Amino acid sequence: MTAGSQDPPDSETYTKGVPMGLLDGKVAIVTGGGRGLGRAHCLALAGHGAAVVVNDPGAGLHGENTGETPAEAVAAEITAAGGRAIPDHSSVTDWAATEKLIALAAAEFGRLDVVVNNAGILRDRMLFSMTEDDFDAVIAVHLKGTFAMTRHACAYWREEAKRGAGRGGRIINTTSGTGLFGTVGQANYGAAKAGIVSLTTITALEMARYGVTANAISPIAHTRMTAGIAGVAVRNPVPDGPAPEGFDPQDPANASGLVVYLASDASAWLTGQVFRVHGNRVQRLRGWRAAGEYRSRSGGAVEPQELITGLPEVYGTTPAGRLPDPAVHGA
């Protein structure tokens, strides 16, 4: 094709000249869907044709009961715009309730295609001040909640495949910069978010045979969970380059375009990946990779003494004027 020309739209994108949504006919569950990122994801998924189960118990930032019902508001917003949505108030920390949530989506809309694990709370403290409950509560919502939803959804998709009705599925998890790079005062949150990355990788490996993909996103956005974290703006400066007037690089909705894509059939080739989303940029992240090595002098096990000079060389911290080690370079 010539430069500047475009590929013709395929039949899944247009029917009789009428544009179709990327997610027409699909059913999604979004946990933590009542506020911030979750709300933005729900609206975007519905806007592209999906029926959405908006899950949110209305808990406060630290997991406390507030009596609020944000899931109702988001579901009402979607239906008022002509979409399909129902609210759910289950806690993702409840094993039986998450299993029922999967069944609810299938019963209400006839199927389940997408699970977006987004629910979260914070209990920030320095390590020496963090209580057992602070740690357990955050792990329960972020890591256990993501596992519970993923486990029950995967069991559903596996059963569908076994009876010949498998259509695959999409798991979209939420990690964070704290889980990837670390943040002071968030040992519980960081441990949970790092665990979610590993869970995503393993889910991708185990569920590939059933046509289920699993990916994770790390959004940079201004939400109630980031509002009180010191240094967020410094660590995540606004991306440079042109942007439309009025564009807010910290808007939670900036990450929802990627969520819609990962939820669609177009992303079937992509699994086990982690993405960072900042403003108008989607970045591919790569996990742990060897960046240097030291080999023992003997060819056997490394002796601790040789690492005194060996490891600084691996890290490139050996002073240029340092005398060579006779044991390595000869007298």
Q: Is 189 a catalytic residue?
A: yes
Q: Is 193 a catalytic residue?
A: yes
Partner residues linked to 114 by β-bridges:
28, 170
Q: Is 176 a catalytic residue?
A: yes
- Residue that the structure tokens 């109630």 belong to: 224
Judged on CB neighbours under 10 Å (0-12, 13-18, 19+), 56 is buried
Name the catalytic one among 176, 218, 256, 264. 176
- Across residues 278-284, what is the average pLDDT? 95
Q: What is the pLDDT of residues 213-233, one digit of tens each?
A: 999 999 998 766 665 555 544
Go through the chain and tell me how many residues it has: 331
Partner residues linked to 86 by β-bridges:
53
Closest CA to 284 of 275, 292, 293: 275
Element (H, E) at 39: helix 36-47
Q: Cβ atoms within 10 A of the Cβ of 28, count?
A: 29
Return the percent helix, strand and coil in the chain, to nearest 5: 40, 15, 45
Q: What is the pLDDT of residues 30-71, one digit of tens each?
A: 999 999 999 999 999 999 999 999 999 999 888 888 888 999
Angle at 143 between CA 269 and CA 223, to 5 degrees: 85
Predicted pLDDT at 64: 85
Domains of the chain, first to last:
21-285 (3.40.50.720), 294-331 (no CATH)
Angle at 275 between CA 244 and CA 235, to 5 degrees: 70
Q: List, edge to edge, every strand of the sheet that includes 51-55.
A: 85-88, 51-55, 27-31, 114-117, 169-174, 212-220, 274-278, 281-285
- Report which of residues 5 and 231 the model is more confident about: 231
Angle at 21 between CA 279 and CA 213, to 5 degrees: 70
User: 119 phi and psi, to 5 degrees?
Assistant: -60, 145
- Report which of residues 237 and 197 the model is more confident about: 197
Determine the Cα–Cα distance for residues 100 and 91; give it in Å rounded to an integer: 11
Predicted pLDDT at 246: 87
